[in-house]
């Protein structure tokens, strides 16, 4: 590289985005050191009543739901044969893989002794725990997503034979991915089945596992639209003709599906209230908050998606996808934190320490940076010219 | 190594059977677990408790906990509601005016040692166990520190050492399990000056409690807390007032914690068994649809090609026929022309000959 090139490269590196990201990374590293030398007490507001904070509520529960795009898209294309969404598969798998990798990364901050994370598998298997199921499925699914993503990396590296072997596994991996996702997405909700006395009756339901699974489909569909919008904004030059041509169809198709699943989700949430006869709770303060979530972030986006599809209004669809993603995050925070310990007086409730938020932002930033590193190098938003029409 | 389909299916089957036979899902069966026989427990009679905090001091001493800010003799501590913590495995709380004639009631709080503990059911590394002596024990050597046990505990008992960076533990009352194994009684029970705490076999304690209720119906509420709550606990309570008035939840139900998640856990094998079948079926259907679509497309293309070919053939034939006709006509014309020319030539020749003959005759005459 000549001196001139280096100077140019340097200049390109100092963008406002990179500067902000750099500052976040530095702060994140400082908090990381504090966390692992001084303990959880120094950097979090966790206490004995609130053993789980935003690292579980946001990073784990919401993170896993939002990473559902991988199994949703790959099953739509490979199992249901919707080939016209093929260009959405790789970005969705990548988002899913990074999502899960970061969930596991975040867990290392949250658990007291992260170096023991393999203990449930190698020491004693606590198979009566839903957390064991979650741990096993997340570990396996992270592996599945990794393998599903490797073709892009192998094409980039030019390893044709290895790449062809992996693509032969596509069907098997997709089905395995759906099984694992069904299990752990629902189990994350089922974790709270054990705490009927702590979670507000409007959110507590025997259907929690079903609610979590169905809403993960919504989150997956919406994240594909949301991510595609952002990618198109920042990486349009990386997209090939097929990707650009299919993009609109993906947004319309996924929005239509999301609208329908949201409507179904709304219906089963109502059934949940009816089954436990919880109607009278709706007239309380928590009831209003519950209605805000259910009407504002389930019913409304379902309607907006439907309107967006009918009028082919892509801008509306984009905004609705953001709104839906926010709604899913809100739901997970409600269950894990806000409606949790609802008996406790306000003064004893949990609010995150700024350093907890700092770590969550830090991890999110790492995700965005790795995503950018990969899509600017590997064939994710475009098909590798050597493998055109092989469709994997 | 090559694996035949039969071999593979055999392995899968063996793995499935292994999983199915390996463990029994007690919670899903119709057998109720009512505790280990002859397991021990403690009866806390809140009517007898005077709130002297001697039990707290004894607990602190037995478990070698750091001394608190205010000494155990300072009863002003009772004015604020407390919960169990890292430095206090047990706390006594005061409930003003909850007793007879508006007297305060004191309630000791510690791990209730459930018969089927929520913490043990929640732990993904089996760090908690219900011992046959009655205590719910904790093994810090395997604990990962996920704190799901704390989320699960309906009595808000376990506490966590958040300030330890390298070896944080979950801490809670051990019912002095090591002392029980030595044949001693728990520290708090030994120290209680008012016999508000009674240590014994849970079965015997239930009898004692029932006797007291029967003997002094005006002194006790007709409810032994812990007999059935959350499937039953090894610590039992007597009270002169409704337990709701002295900070103990009456809405916990009688279902042991493992039953709350048994359904969700039971769904796992069904998902694992059904999803691949359904999904492969859907895949097969979409593949078949694609195949049929491709075949239909092929047929349609073939038909179209045939039609076009037929048309082209006909056109070609027409053209050829026309050409042949034209050719024939042309040949005919040519023949006619030749004939005509020949006749013309012959005619001319004849005329010439005639003329010549005429001239010769004229010359002769």
What would the pLDDT profile of B195-221 be if each residue is shown by its tens digit?
999 999 999 999 999 999 999 999 999
Going by C-alpha positions, the residue among A187, A241, A206, A341 that lies closest to residue B268 is A187
Work out the minimum CA distance from B286 to partner chain A, whole angstroms: 6
More confident residue, B23 or A388: A388
Record: contact A120-B163, CB cut-off 8 A: no
User: What does the longest C-alpha to C-alpha distance in chain A come to?
Assistant: 73
Q: Tell me how far the alpha carbon of residue A141 is from its chain's centroid.
A: 13
* Whether A42 and B118 lie within 8 Å, measured CB to CB: no
For residues B267 and B17, which has the higher predicted lDDT (pLDDT)? Answer: B267
CB contact under 8 A, A194 and B84: no
How many A/B residue pairs have CB atoms within 8 Å? Answer: 173
Distance CA B201, CA B43 (A): 10
Residues of chain B contacting residue A178, judged by C-beta atoms under 8 Å apart: 275, 279
B125 interaction partners in chain A (CB closer than 8 Å): 116, 119-120, 123-126
Specify the pLDDT at position B158: 96
- CA pair distance B57, B66, nearest whole angstrom: 11
Q: Tell if the CB–CB gap between B144 and A198 is shorter than 8 Å.
A: no
B121 in contact with A, Cβ within 8 Å:
yes
pLDDT in tens, B33-63: 788 888 999 999 999 999 999 999 999 999 9
Closest Cα in chain A to B165: A39
B 135-164 → A contacts, CB under 8 A:
142-148, 150-152, 154, 156, 158-164
For residue B25, what pLDDT band results from cuts at 50, 70 and 90?
very low
Per-residue confidence band for A98, with pLDDT thresholds at 50, 70 and 90: very high
Query: Per-residue pLDDT for A7 more than 90?
Result: no
Predicted local confidence at residue B219, as pLDDT: 92
CB contact under 8 A, B84 and A48: yes
ipTM of the complex: 0.90
Task: Give me the percent of chain B exceeding a pLDDT of 90.
Answer: 74
CB spacing of B276 vs A179 below 8 angstroms: yes
State the average pLDDT for chain B: 89
pLDDT of B356 reads: 81
- What chain B residue is nearest to A50 in terms of C-alpha separation? B151
**Pick among B21, B112, B149, B162 to test the A interface (most A CBs inside 10 A):** B162
**Rounded CA separation B196/B53 (Å):** 12
Percent of chain B with pLDDT over 70: 91
Q: Say what the pLDDT of residue A9 is.
A: 67
For the stretch A116-125, pLDDT in tens is: 999 999 999 9
Model confidence pLDDT, tens digit, residues A332-379: 999 999 999 999 998 899 999 999 999 999 999 999 999 999 998 888
Task: Confirm whether pTM is higher than 0.80.
Answer: yes
3-state secondary structure of B343: helix
Task: Work out the pLDDT band at A209, boundaries 50, 70, 90.
Answer: very high
Residue B15 pLDDT grade (very low, low, confident, very high; cuts 50, 70, 90):
low
Tell me which chain A residues have a C-beta less than 8 angstroms from the C-beta of B263. Answer: 206
> A14 falls in which pLDDT band (50, 70, 90)?
confident
Q: Domain segments of chain A: what residues?
A: 18-383
- Say yes or no to pLDDT of A381 above 90: no
pLDDT bucket at B2, cuts 50 / 70 / 90: low
Bridge partners of B232, per DSSP, are none
B221 and chain A in contact, CB less than 8 A = no
| The pLDDT of residue A384 | 82
If one looks up domain A18-383 in CATH, what number appears?
1.20.1630.10
For the segment A203-220, the average pLDDT, to the nearest whole number, is 96
Burial string for B110-138 (b: 16+ CB within 10 Å, else e) reads bbbbbbbbbbbbbbbbbbbebbebbbbbb
Task: Compare B258 and A3 and report the one with higher pLDDT.
Answer: B258
């Amino acid at each position: 590289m000549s001196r001139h090139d280096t100077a140019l490269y340097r200049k390109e590196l100092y963008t406002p985005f990179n500067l902000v990201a750099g500052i976040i990374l530095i702060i994140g590293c400082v908090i990381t050191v504090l966390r692992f030398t001084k303990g959880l007490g120094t950097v979090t507001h966790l206490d004995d009543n609130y053993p789980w904070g935003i690292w579980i509520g946001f990073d784990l529960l919401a993170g896993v739901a939002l990473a559902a795009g991988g199994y949703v898209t790959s099953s739509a294309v490979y199992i249901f044969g919707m080939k016209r969404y093929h260009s959405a598969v790789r970005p969705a798998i990548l988002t899913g893989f990074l999502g899960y990798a970061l969930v596991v990364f975040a867990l290392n901050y949250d658990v007291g002794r992260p170096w023991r994370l393999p203990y449930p598998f190698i020491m004693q298997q606590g198979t009566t725990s839903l957390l064991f199921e979650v741990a096993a499925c997340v570990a396996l699914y992270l592996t599945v997503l990794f393998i599903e993503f490797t073709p892009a990396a192998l094409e980039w590296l030019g390893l044709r034979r290895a790449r062809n072997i992996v693509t032969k596994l596509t069907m098997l991996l997709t089905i395995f991915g759906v099984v694992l996702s069904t299990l752990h997405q629902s189990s994350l909700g089922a974790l709270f089945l054990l705490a009927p006395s702590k979670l507000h009756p409007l959110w507590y339901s025997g259907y929690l596992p079903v609610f979590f699974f169905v809403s993960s489909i919504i989150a997956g569909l919406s994240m594909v639209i949301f991510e595609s919008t952002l990618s198109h904004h920042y990486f349009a030059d990386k997209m090939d003709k097929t990707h650009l041509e299919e993009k609109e169809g993906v947004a319309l198709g996924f929005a239509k599906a999301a609208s329908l699943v949201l409507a179904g989700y709304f219906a089963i949430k109502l059934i949940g209230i009816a089954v436990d006869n919880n109607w009278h709770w709706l007239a309380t303060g928590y009831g209003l908050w519950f209605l805000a979530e259910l009407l504002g972030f389930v019913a409304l986006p379902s309607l907006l998606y439907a309107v967006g599809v009918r009028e082919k209004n892509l801008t509306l669809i984009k905004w609705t996808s953001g709104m839906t993603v926010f709604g899913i995050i809100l739901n997970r925070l409600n269950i894990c934190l806000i409606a949790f310990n609802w008996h406790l007086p306000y003064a004893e409730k949990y609010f995150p320490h700024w350093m907890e938020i700092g770590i969550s932002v830090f991890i999110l930033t790492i995700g965005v940076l790795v995503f950018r590193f990969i899509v600017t190098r590997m064939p994710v938003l475009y098909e590798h010219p050597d493998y055109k029409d092989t469709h994997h | 190594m090559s694996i035949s389909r039969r071999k593979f299916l055999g392995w899968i089957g063996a793995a499935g059977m292994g999983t199915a036979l390996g463990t029994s899902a007690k919670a899903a069966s119709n057998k109720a677990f009512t505790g280990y026989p002859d397991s021990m427990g403690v009866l806390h009679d809140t009517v007898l408790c005077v709130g002297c905090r001697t039990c707290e001091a004894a607990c602190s001493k037995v478990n070698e906990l750091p001394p608190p800010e205010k000494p155990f003799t300072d009863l002003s501590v009772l004015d604020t509601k407390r919960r169990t913590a890292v430095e206090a495995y047990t706390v006594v709380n005061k409930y003003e005016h909850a007793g007879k004639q508006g007297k305060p009631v004191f309630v000791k709080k510690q791990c209730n040692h459930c018969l089927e503990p929520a913490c043990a059911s929640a732990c993904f590394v089996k760090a908690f166990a219900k011992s046959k002596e009655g205590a719910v024990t904790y093994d810090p050597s395997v604990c990962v520190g996920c704190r799901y046990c704390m989320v699960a505990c309906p009595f808000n008992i376990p506490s966590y050492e958040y300030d330890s960076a390298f070896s944080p533990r979950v801490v809670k009352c051990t019912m002095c399990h090591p002392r029980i194994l030595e044949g001693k009684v728990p520290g708090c029970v030994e120290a209680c000056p008012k016999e508000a705490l009674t240590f014994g076999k849970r079965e015997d304690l239930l009898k004692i409690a029932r006797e007291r209720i029967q003997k002094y119906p005006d002194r006790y509420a007709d409810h032994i807390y812990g007999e059935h709550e959350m499937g039953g606990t090894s610590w039992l309570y007597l009270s002169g007032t409704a337990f709701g008035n002295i900070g103990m939840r009456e809405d916990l139900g009688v279902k042991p914690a493992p039953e709350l998640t048994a359904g969700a856990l039971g769904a796992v094998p069904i998902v694992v068994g059904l999803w691949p079948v359904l999904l492969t079926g859907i895949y097969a259907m979409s593949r078949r649809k694609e195949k049929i679509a491709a075949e239909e497309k092929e047929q349609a293309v073939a038909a179209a090609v045939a039609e076009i070919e037929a048309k082209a053939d006909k056109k070609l034939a027409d053209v050829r026929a026309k050409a042949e006709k034209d050719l024939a006509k042309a040949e005919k014309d040519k023949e006619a022309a030749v004939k005509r020319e020949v006749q013309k030539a012959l005619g001319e020749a004849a005329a010439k000959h005639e003329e010549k003959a005429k001239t010769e005759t004229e010359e002769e005459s």
